[in-house]
């Protein structure tokens, strides 16, 4: 009797969805098992999501090319792809435009589709999934589509990537104003901003840095504000040579937030003295960040989110040197200003072409556009996304620790509400932040994609053989 074909639905065709789809096909080929993968996303493009859809060549990866392979077992794959594209050896230390990385992810998936011919298939569907839940058969999952139809599968993966930006700061006078850009990564969101009017960017993280590069121009001032006014620090222009004379020692096995913070600062200072650069001290902690996060008490995690978080982020998520140089020049020429302040109120101008914003530092500024650059909303219950809402409302999922993302098992399967059976639904990336914290970048997502593919393939074929 011919083997039954397993059906897996991947919701979201950005980086996470593309990688897990590719790895499902790869895993099927290795195991000689038949599988059909439905990759569903309303966007027409695949592999780009919000992060890699930008066409502005000034928007660079904030990690060197040599560390951005989509294949955890082949760290040089991206550099080889760039070399073939350029027709010459490519510098693994270069920072590549994000749009090019999106093209690479498309090719990664294409290679997996080609290699799986005759064993596994991929079906790309351009629609939106608005609900996911279990069926009467606990081994299956049902997805409801925007148009009203349903799709049953043996397993589903919610690869939603970065969800909507945080909006808790937006005052009533700004929310429905034509001068407000809620999501700068929405296609064409920045195209209609008048070139002769000042702009206010709320948030001073990586999103602000990219948007400022697009909007800074002669004759206009781009104002950027955030609660602490901290901007991401740059990567070193060149990697330091040599090694520290004395290793900093292992991450402490126990400790509260204050102790951990002191230890990180101590290690950074030791590296600076012995190595001339504090950055390696932060980078070497990366494999341990999840363990450090999980050791913290709930109260310490809340203290971290309320205060220490921004200090960590500007050191951990750094800027490409070219982006830092451009921002420094914009600050020097006063085309860009960065201050510590929060938005208190806003009122529209009489002509509807401007808005006056009151800030917590006592200033009032009048601009043509206010852009939301605070980054994705972390607290799951604040999200209006219909799929996330349906997962929570149905009890198929519950918020993760500290209300971040969705609660998952160690293998990434959604934890249901008390008393409900677990549906065959998994997730990766951003939605695992509450459990893992360090889970939003390609080096983590590519590993999760491989692990998830193997777990799901084993699970669905075991259920089909019963």
pLDDT tens string 207-239: 999 999 999 999 899 999 999 999 999 999 765
| pLDDT exceeds cutoff 90 at 2 | no
Q: Does position 249 have pLDDT exceeding 70, yes or no?
A: no
**446 and 398 fall within a common domain:** yes
Q: Are residue 44 and residue 119 in the same domain, yes or no?
A: yes
**41 shares its domain with 160:** yes
User: Mean pLDDT across the stretch 8-33?
Assistant: 96
Burial track 134-151 (b if 16+ CB lie within 10 A, e otherwise): beeeebbbbbbeeeeeeb
148 domain-assigned:
yes
- Residues 102, 132, single domain; the answer is yes
Do 154 and 32 lie in one domain? The reply is yes
The answer on 292 and 364 residing in a single domain is no
pLDDT score of 250:
62
How far apart, in whole angstroms, are the C-alpha atoms of residue 183 and residue 50? 10
Mean pLDDT, residues 321-343 taken together: 97
User: What is the number of H-type helices and E-type strands within the chain?
Assistant: 14, 16
Domain boundary pick from 356, 372, 388? 372
Span 160-174, average pLDDT: 88
pLDDT averaged over every residue in the chain: 91
Instruction: Look at residue 465 and tell me whether its pLDDT is greater than 90.
Output: no
Final residue belonging to a domain, choices 271, 288, 316: 316
pLDDT reading at 315 higher than 80: yes
pLDDT of 175-203, one tens digit each? 888 999 999 998 888 988 877 899 999 99
Q: Is residue 74 part of a domain?
A: no
Q: How many residues does the chain have?
A: 466
239: in domain: no
Domain match, 334 and 185 both: yes
CA distance 175 to 392: 26
Q: Are residues 34 and 117 in the same domain?
A: yes
Q: What is the pLDDT of residue 253?
A: 60
Q: Is residue 246 part of a domain?
A: no
Question: Is residue 288 assigned to a domain?
Answer: yes
Q: Are 32 and 6 in contact (CB under 8 A)?
A: no
Whether residues 134 and 29 fall in one domain: yes
Residue 384 banded pLDDT, cuts 50, 70, 90:
confident
Q: Containing domain of residue 445, as a range?
A: 6-59+97-164+378-464
What is the number of domains present in the chain?
A: 3
The pLDDT assigned to 193 comes to 87
Residue 303 and residue 345 in one domain: no
Q: What is the CATH number of the domain that holds 198?
A: 3.50.50.60
Name the 3-class secondary structure at 342: coil
Closest CA to 375 of 50, 117, 64, 126: 50
More confident residue, 50 or 128: 128
For residue 187, being part of any structural domain is answered with yes
Q: What is the pLDDT of residue 243?
A: 43
Give the whole-angstrom CA distance, residue 370 versus residue 455.
Answer: 45
**How far apart are the C-alpha atoms of 454 and 26, rounded to whole Å?**
9
Answer yes or no: do 136 and 35 share one domain. Answer: yes
């Amino acid at each position: 009797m011919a083997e039954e074909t397993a059906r897996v639905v991947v919701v979201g065709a950005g980086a996470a969805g593309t990688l897990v789809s590719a790895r499902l096909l790869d895993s099927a080929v290795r195991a000689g098992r038949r599988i059909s993968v439905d990759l569903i996303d309303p966007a027409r493009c695949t592999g780009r999501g919000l992060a890699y859809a930008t066409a502005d060549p000034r928007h660079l990866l904030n990690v060197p090319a040599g560390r951005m392979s989509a294949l955890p077992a082949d760290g040089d794959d991206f550099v080889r792809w760039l070399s073939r594209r350029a027709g010459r050896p490519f510098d693994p230390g270069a920072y590549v435009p994000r749009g090019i990385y999106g093209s690479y992810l498309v090719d990664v998936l294409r290679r997996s589709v080609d290699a799986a011919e005759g064993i596994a298939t991929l079906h790309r569907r351009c629609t939106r999934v608005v609900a996911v839940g279990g069926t009467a058969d606990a081994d299956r999952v049902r997805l409801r589509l925007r148009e009203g139809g349903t799709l049953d599968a043996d397993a589903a993966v919610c690869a939603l990537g970065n969800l909507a930006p945080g909006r808790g700061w937006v005052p009533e006078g700004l929310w429905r104003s034509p001068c407000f850009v809620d999501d700068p990564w929405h296609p064409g969101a920045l195209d209609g901003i008048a070139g002769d009017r000042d702009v206010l960017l709320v948030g001073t993280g990586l999103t602000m840095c990219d948007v400022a590069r697009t909007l800074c121009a002669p004759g206009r001032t781009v104002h950027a504000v955030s609660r602490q006014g901290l901007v991401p620090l740059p990567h070193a222009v060149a990697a330091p040579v040599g090694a520290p004379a004395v290793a900093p020692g292992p991450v402490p096995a126990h400790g509260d937030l204050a102790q951990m913070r002191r230890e990180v600062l101590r290690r950074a200072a030791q590296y600076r003295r012995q190595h001339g650069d504090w950055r390696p001290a932060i980078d070497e902690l990366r494999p341990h960040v999840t363990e450090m996060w999980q050791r913290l008490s709930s109260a310490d995690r809340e203290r971290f989110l309320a205060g220490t978080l921004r200090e960590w982020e500007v050191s951990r998520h750094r800027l490409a040197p070219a982006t830092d140089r451009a921002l420094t020049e914009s600050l020097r020429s006063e085309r860009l200003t960065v201050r510590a302040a929060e938005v208190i109120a806003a009122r529209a101008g009489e002509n509807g072409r401007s808005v006056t914003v009151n800030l917590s530092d006592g200033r009032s500024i009048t601009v043509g556009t206010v852009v939301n650059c605070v980054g994705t909303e972390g607290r799951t219950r604040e999200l209006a996304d219909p799929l996330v809402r349906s997962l929570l409302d149905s009890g198929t999922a519950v918020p993760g620790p500290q209300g971040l993302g969705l609660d998952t098992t160690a293998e990434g399967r959604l934890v249901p509400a008390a008393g409900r059976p677990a549906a065959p639904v998994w997730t990766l990336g951003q939605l695992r932040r509450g459990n893992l914290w360090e889970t939003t970048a390609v080096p983590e997502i590519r590993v999760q994609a491989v692990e998830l593919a193997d777990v799901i393939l084993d699970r669905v074929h075991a259920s089909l053989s019963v």
